[in-house]
């Protein structure tokens, strides 16, 4: 992994996953940039409705592939319609707000989009079945996504010229795609599992368009750490509470190979927060179990909420991000 594409972070870094509550782009950008000085991100505000959700937002980035909303979800169509225009308009609004609050910023800045396999599982073809059912459609979708992301990343760099732009690919359906667990339109059966080499190849092609580091996020159980590492991903973002000891070897190998872990340890919805050191206690325990040097902990782990914060209250979302910052600092100050 080249230096430009590795996720080198300052010890004790925290960030968010992507979504925030409410519909005010300026308020969300102000909260994120104010709370996260070392790794802010472009917020998503799905509460605004179709086109602001993660599938619709990414569909709006696609090149020469268009989608519109049907009662069953997003469906690929022939031409850009109202839903595509709305998605692009909201993304523009979000970028305007981010640009306003990142004047002079020179650190790493994270932007996110849905990855090729969750997109293929979510977007319907004209007949109503998922694009996942058609190998050719999956290839076309991945190519369109890669081109769209190239344009999006260039636009972010133009607006925040001092930033090093990192890309997060949201892949919550990735494990289900690999295991053949995505349900068909009827709900009575599932699509065939996609070959691991095909999954890895498409991810590698999309990762290659970014000239900064790429992190893949999944808040589902059974994140395929080894496959993601082979696809060239610099970081893996996951819900820490879903880890089992079965993943220990893959995580240990990933860390030793330089992969950054984005550990989701802070609840994404309103509730009491433990003390910051308590939130990362499990991360310290994992490190000891893997036999990794305590000194590498704070520079190998970024602390995040367990998933997006769209379902939280605005006050809790702000508290959760600030709590992540304090928990990350506690890892840096006391790795053991």
Are 237 and 169 spatial neighbours (Cβ–Cβ below 8 Å)?
Answer: no
Q: Mean pLDDT for the chain?
A: 94
Question: Which residue's entry shows tokens 């704070």?
Answer: 298
pLDDT of residue 334: 81
Surface-to-core class of residue 6, CB atoms within 10 Å of its CB (0-12 exposed, 13-18 middle, 19+ buried): middle
Interval 214-264: pLDDT, tens: 999 999 999 999 999 999 999 999 999 999 989 999 999 999 999 999 999
Number of CB atoms found within 10 A of residue 234's CB: 25
- Vertex 206, ends 93 and 210: CA angle to 5°? 65
- 192-200 contact pairs (CB < 8 A, 24+): 194/117, 194/132, 194/138, 196/227, 198/135, 198/138, 199/117, 199/174, 199/227, 200/227, 200/230, 200/231
CATH number of 25-258: 3.20.20.210
Q: How many helices and strands in the chain, by DSSP H and E?
A: 13, 8
Are 208 and 200 spatial neighbours (Cβ–Cβ below 8 Å)?
Answer: no
Interval 275-334: pLDDT, tens: 999 999 999 999 999 999 888 898 999 999 999 999 999 999 999 999 999 999 999 988
Q: Domain map of the chain by residue range?
A: 25-258
Indicate whether 4 pLDDT > 70.
Answer: no
Are 135 and 64 spatial neighbours (Cβ–Cβ below 8 Å)?
Answer: no
Indicate whether 1 pLDDT > 90.
Answer: no
Interval 145-178: pLDDT, tens: 999 999 999 999 999 999 999 999 999 999 999 9
pTM: 0.96
């Amino acid at each position: 992994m080249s230096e430009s594409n590795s996720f080198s972070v300052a010890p004790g870094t925290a960030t968010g996953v992507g979504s925030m509550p409410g519909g005010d782009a300026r308020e969300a950008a102000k909260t994120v940039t104010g709370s996260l000085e070392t790794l802010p991100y472009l917020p998503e505000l799905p509460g605004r409705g179709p086109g602001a959700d993660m599938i619709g937002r990414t569909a709006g980035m696609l090149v020469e592939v268009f989608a519109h909303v049907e009662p069953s979800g997003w469906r690929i169509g022939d031409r850009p319609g109202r839903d595509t225009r709305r998605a692009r308009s909201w993304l523009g609004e979000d970028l305007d707000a981010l640009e306003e609050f990142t004047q002079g910023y020179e650190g790493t800045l994270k932007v996110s989009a849905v990855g090729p396999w969750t997109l293929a599982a979510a977007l319907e073809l004209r007949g109503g079945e998922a694009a996942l059912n058609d190998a050719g459609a999956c290839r076309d979708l991945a190519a369109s996504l890669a081109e769209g992301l190239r344009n999006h990343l260039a636009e972010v760099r133009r607006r925040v010229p001092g930033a090093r732009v990192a890309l997060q690919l949201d892949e919550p359906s990735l494990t289900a795609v690999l295991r053949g667990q995505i349900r068909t339109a009827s709900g009575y059966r599932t699509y065939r599992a996609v070959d691991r080499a095909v999954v890895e190849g498409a991810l590698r092609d999309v990762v290659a368009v970014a000239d900064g580091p790429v992190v893949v996020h999944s808040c589902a159980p059974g994140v395929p750490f080894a496959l993601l590492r082979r696809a060239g991903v610099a970081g893996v973002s996951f819900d820490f509470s879903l880890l089992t000891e079965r993943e220990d070897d893959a995580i240990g190998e990933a860390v030793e190979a330089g992969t950054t872990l984005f550990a989701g340890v802070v609840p994404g919805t309103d509730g009491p927060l433990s003390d910051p050191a308590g939130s990362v206690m499990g991360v310290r325990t994992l490190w000891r179990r893997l036999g990794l040097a305590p000194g590498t902990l704070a520079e190998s782990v970024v602390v995040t909420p367990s998933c997006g914060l769209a379902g939280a209250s605005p006050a809790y979302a702000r508290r959760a991000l600030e709590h992540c910052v304090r928990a990350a600092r506690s890892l840096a100050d006391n790795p053991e």
